[in-house]
Structure 1
Amino acid sequence: MDTIKQLTELDYKTLIICITVVAGSFKIVCNFFSWFVSYLGLETKKMRQKREDHELLITTVKNLELLQNKQNEDVRQSIVHDRRIKDDLKNVTDKVNEIADTLSNMQKADNVTEMKKLKEKLVAYYNKYKNSDGWTSMDKEVFWDLFEDYEERGGDGFIHSKVEPIMRELKVIDKE
């Protein structure tokens, strides 16, 4: 009970001041000890850990900067490559269009040439059979196949107005 009585009579201001003085003194002693150890060139575990953490942080920052620079360079190169690919693709597209135009012109020229050949053959059949009594079924089939091909290629003109009517009137004479 005396102990409790002594505690109730204790001055709390003095107690707080004493605790603060002791803690401050302890801090000063610790700082002095750290300074003294570092002055002697020695290193404590805490100091070594702090130094290693600092070195790791510096290394990480340097690596991060290198990665950022690498990413920037990669983006720049990617843009350059994209431009090259776009230019090459445009060149290929232009060349394909040029080839397509050339093919189209060649097809038109081929169609005109083929129509002239068909017209010539049709006229030859016409001249051969216009004054005859008839023609064979084989000649008839060949003529009308040529005539159909001529029409599909866009042929018109005197073949329709002169040749076709006379050839339709011919009779089939098969010689056996």
Structure 2
Amino acid sequence: MKTKNLAFVTLTLLVILSSCQESQKGKRAVEGNQETTVDEEKAAILARLNNETKDAFQRNYDAWTENWLHDPDITKTYLNFTDSTFSESVGWDEISQFVKTFFEEHPAPEPVPKLLDKIDVRLYGKGAWVTYEQQDSLRGLKRETRLMEKVDGKWKIAGMQTTIYGFKTNKNN
């Protein structure tokens, strides 16, 4: 009799674990009383990232600010391997001023890179870890990492790290 009970308990636990794992695989995400699919969340994040890129390259400061979380703890970091430069801004005020100054010093819009259609996203409740690569016509290959936070139903950028690798050159030429 004890073997049957143990088998029943084990089978029940396996079924529960299996259903928990299935929900974690990304079929549904719940925010408050609203249920959305992970694909919908990923699409909203993708749209936010593409908007931020367009706004930055078109030098639209006011629109650009709408893409970011205005918080004293957010960060923005650039690593540029092509010219060995590095910059880091911490907090919304510093990030905002850095971008405003950059736009003033470089007012001409730049060609907008091919917009993203593929990103890797890991959702964590109201947060997301996002990675992707993008080809910039002026800077070459960039690898981006973004920390996203969902506030009032909208995804905002809460952290950014951009690594610029530049253009590949053929050493035989």
| Short-chain TM bin | 0.3 to 0.5
Larger gyration radius, structure 1 or structure 2 = 1
Normalized against structure 2, the TM-score is what? 0.33
Normalized against structure 1, the TM-score is what? 0.33
Normalized per residue, which structure has more strand?
Answer: 2
